[in-house]
Amino acid sequence: MLTKTKTRLFLGILIFLLAQFSFSQVRTVKDLDTNWKFQKINQEKAFEVNFDDSKWETVTVPHDWAIYGPFDKEIDKQEVAIVQNGERIPSEKTGRTGSLPHIGTAWYRKKFNITSEEKEKKVLLLFEGAMSEPEVFLNGEKVGEWAYGYSYFYFDVTAFITEGENTLAVKLSNKEFASRWYPGAGLYRKVRVIVKNKESIDQWGTFITTPFISTKEAQINIKTKITGENLTLVTTVFDTDGNQVSSNKTTTIFGEEFEQNLKVNNPKLWSPETPYLYTATTQLFFENQLKDEVSTRFGIRDINYDAQTGFSLNGEVRKFKGVCLHHDLGPLGTAVNKSALRRQLTILKDMGCNAIRSSHNMPSIEQLELCDEMGFMFLAESFDEWAIPKVANGYNRFFEDYAEKDIVNLVHATRNHPSIVMWSSGNEVPDQWGAEGVKRAKWLQELFHREDSTRPVTVGMDQVQATMESGFGALLDVPGLNYRLHLYEEAYEKFPQGFILGSETASTVSSRGIYKFPVEKASMKQYDDFQSSSYDLEYCSWSNVPDDDFVLQDDKPWVIGEFVWTGFDYLGEPTPYDEMWPSRSSYFGINDLAGLPKDRFYLYRSRWNTNDETLHILPHWNWKGREGEITPIFVYTSYDSAELFVNGKSMGVQTKNNETPQNRYRLMWMDVKYEPGTIKVVAFDKQGNKAAEKEIHTAGKPYEIVLNPDRKILKADGKDLSYVEVSVVDKNGISCPTSTNQLKFKVTGAGIYRAACNGDATSLEQFHLPTMKLFSGKLVVLVQATTKTGTIELDVTGEGLKGTSVKIQAKK
């Protein structure tokens, strides 16, 4: 029982703590994520405060309204010639934008509260992406609009805010023929309200650079834009453990900007291998009263591009082992989810990938945060179009009015991410032809330089011959070549930079677990089942197989790396089947739409991952009806040689050699005849000693379902995901690689069923329904945590199969 004295003491401490808490709340950031009202309609009065939205769907933002389908051929059927693919005669294209119902107008409405104290402050409304052409209304008044669906933007809504309840309404319009891939639809990235004092640090107003680095010390330069007069700025730098390593106080302001220089002793440098992050906490004072506070994570690192060494990071010459990524997350659509992004990057990290190109648009903030943390260099791209269109309703409509604003917002919002080592102002823009295009390229590059002088600028060029003649390629900081391997040597000779970047490479096509015979290199090969062979020898009319790029990367020191098209399959662009139905997603991915590795993953891993061994055999060994027929066996391995055995009989030793690009990077036994049983590969080290071995077996009939979650503990935040790989084995536990069983899913407890995906580009099954067929023996189920703690249980059943379940824990 508390005495009066203890009670007074307790109340005194409580009042003190509350005062301190109140004092520290100089800036409030509110995520507007739950309890949005949504409806896909064209309703003129949906912005009004008293508009009746009670019958609208309740959704959580980030949200993609189109991903729930259904898939429909008529949605994006186009009669078009894709010029950048070398087409001249128009033909009917289907599935080009994913065949999902993303076209149309929709409204989002959200109520949020503002206190009387907050009403007297400055209020910003921040959008990190809204697809597309958003018009924003607050309390019945239009506060602004934007054009580009990928851009970050904000409005000062102080004049529109009322004390108490406020009504936010957002109108989004997606036009047909506005994209070359699935763009998504809706408020697919975060929406935030920021409340701060009128004397404050501007939005994205902090710019941190590291102009001098040595092993003993690093100089940290911090420029901070502010609003207000007679202010003092204090910046403190902390290491990753929260220890203070430097501090600076200044009252000197130039224009509307403070500039500080701090020293960090014995700095730990950021790199893909050691992604060390510091935090700069910046505090703004007026007469010793704290007015604003912002914390910014950053890395200490040095980048350099020159003709002598190519690209170097922290003084170490290295090459980009990168992939291009579209912004959709497969069965989740474009709605940003950090655990989904983390899974992607974890898979790529295991492959040995060290760089990401955001194709062909601004990346999400979450993706950049993870690249900072996990160690990926980043090529941040801006546009797929400039003034000349690729599609009728593309960005060309907005270029003149918005390009500068979009670049400024891109740079200001993301420039403190150490992962970003290069900007891209465009991809395969038709403006590569002619003098006007050269002027636009120069203007855009100068915009980037004006806003950030520390990073170079590139463009993904596919019209390389034209850019060599016009001067377009010569003016770029980094000449980026999309494919066109036959022009690398000539471009190197003609461009003055002294190096070439493979800004987009390969475009090899394959379907996970699908193999075609005879095995041969082929361009734009098509089959009756609308699949591509996973022998990884099929490619597009403008592109090539991976090995051709490997030769240039390994033999030409002036080639500074590559960004492979693509790290994961994505919705839309189903080349080489964009004239066939059903086919609604890409075949380019190293991993399929479900995030399951294709064989090609191991080809890249065998070359890129220098820390772990790779030994991978293809194809599978279930070929009933092909007994006695030629069935070549490939091995992707980090070892130089290996011996193959079929049912104990040696097929000989193969050693990598320079006879062809394929022989240089793959071990291939081209004359093996199929007989059921066991394939065994024994790999040898450079001394000829046995170093590793692997077996695959012919499976019997499907018998039992097997579940393998990538994570068994989730955060109970209503967002976290576990990706559960589902496969089928026979009675002996051998995986059944050709199974296509229809499965059903049920989630109970502290989680929900979120989606499923099997990686089949021709599947029209809807991701959010709790049933799906296996494709090549596998699929993935996404289980999402709720805000409750406890056990989540996933049960998977299939007719004629032994069902199973897995338990996952949700914790705070």
Q: Give the 3-state secondary structure of 583-645.
A: CCECCCCCECCCCCECHHHHHHHHHHCCCCCCEEEECCCCCCCCCCCECCEEEEECCCEEEEE
Catalytic hit among 133, 366, 385, 428: 428
Give the single-character DSSP code of 663. Answer: H
Token code pair at residue 249: 């106080």
Token code pair at residue 354: 């060290």
Q: How far apart are CA 114 and CA 187, in angstroms?
A: 22
**CA nearest 189: which of 302, 294, 108?**
108
Q: Is the dihedral of CA 565, 569, 573, 575 positive or negative?
A: positive
**CA nearest 409: which of 79, 41, 127?**
127
Supply the pLDDT for residue 88.
76
CATH, domain range 704-811? 2.60.40.10
Give the single-character DSSP code of 571. Answer: B
Q: Which whole-number Å values give the CA distances from 265 to 239, 301, 303, 665, 766, in the listed order?
A: 11, 14, 20, 44, 55
Q: How far apart are CA 623 and CA 738, in angstroms?
A: 9
Vertex 622, ends 620 and 627: CA angle to 5°? 120
Task: For tokens 């003609």, name the residue.
Answer: 494
* 794 DSSP β-pair partners: 747, 806
Cis amide bond preceding 632, omega within 30: no
Does the structural domain 200-298 have CATH classification 2.60.40.10?
A: yes
The residue type of 119 is K
Q: How far apart are CA 581 and CA 327, in angstroms?
A: 24
Q: How far apart are CA 256 and CA 226, in angstroms?
A: 6
Which backbone phi and psi does 312 adopt, to 5 degrees? -135, 145
Supply the pLDDT for residue 233.
98
Q: How far apart are CA 608 and CA 59, in angstroms?
A: 41
Token code pair at residue 237: 């730098």
Vertex 720, ends 717 and 723: CA angle to 5°? 155
The residue type of 140 is G
Where does the chain hold its CATH 2.60.120.260 domain(s)? 28-66+102-196
Where does the chain hold its CATH 2.60.40.10 domain(s)? 200-298, 615-697, 704-811
**Which CATH architecture group holds 303-507+542-588?**
Alpha-Beta Barrel (3.20)
Supply the pLDDT for residue 22.
36
* 714 DSSP β-pair partners: 810
User: Rounded to an integer, what is the distance from CA 29 to the centroid of its chain?
Assistant: 25
Q: How far apart are CA 569 and CA 534, in angstroms?
A: 14
Supply the pLDDT for residue 452.
98
Please tell me the pTM assigned to this model: 0.95
* Annotated catalytic residue 504: yes
Q: Is the dihedral of CA 240, 242, 247, 253 positive or negative?
A: positive
- Answer yes or no: are the C-beta atoms of 579 and 94 closer than 8 Å: yes
Q: Give all strands (DSSP E) within 13-152, no chain letters.
A: 27-31, 36-39, 57-59, 78-80, 91-93, 104-114, 122-127, 135-138, 141-145
Segment (H or E) for 26? none
Supply the pLDDT for residue 84.
67
Catalytic hit among 118, 504, 538, 765: 504
CATH topology for 28-66+102-196 is Jelly Rolls (2.60.120)
The residue type of 91 is S
Other Cβ atoms within 10 Å of 586 Cβ, number: 28
Supply the pLDDT for residue 1.
40
- Walk along the chain (812 residues) in steps of 10 and give the mean pLDDT of each run: 40 36 72 98 95 97 98 86 74 90 97 97 98 98 98 98 98 96 98 97 98 96 96 98 98 93 98 98 97 98 96 97 98 98 98 98 98 98 97 97 98 98 98 95 98 98 96 98 98 98 98 98 97 98 97 97 98 95 97 98 98 98 98 98 98 97 98 98 96 98 98 98 98 98 98 98 98 98 98 97 97 95
Which backbone phi and psi does 374 adopt, to 5 degrees? -95, -15
Q: How far apart are CA 335 and CA 768, in angstroms?
A: 14
* Annotated catalytic residue 436: no
Q: How far apart are CA 170 and CA 638, in angstroms?
A: 52
| Residues whose CB falls within 8 Å of the CB of residue 651, separated by 6 or more in sequence, listed in order | 633, 643, 644, 645, 669, 672
Q: How far apart are CA 635 and CA 91, in angstroms?
A: 39
* 773 DSSP β-pair partners: 742
Which CATH superfamily, name and number, covers 615-697?
Immunoglobulins (2.60.40.10)
Segment (H or E) for 373? helix 365-374
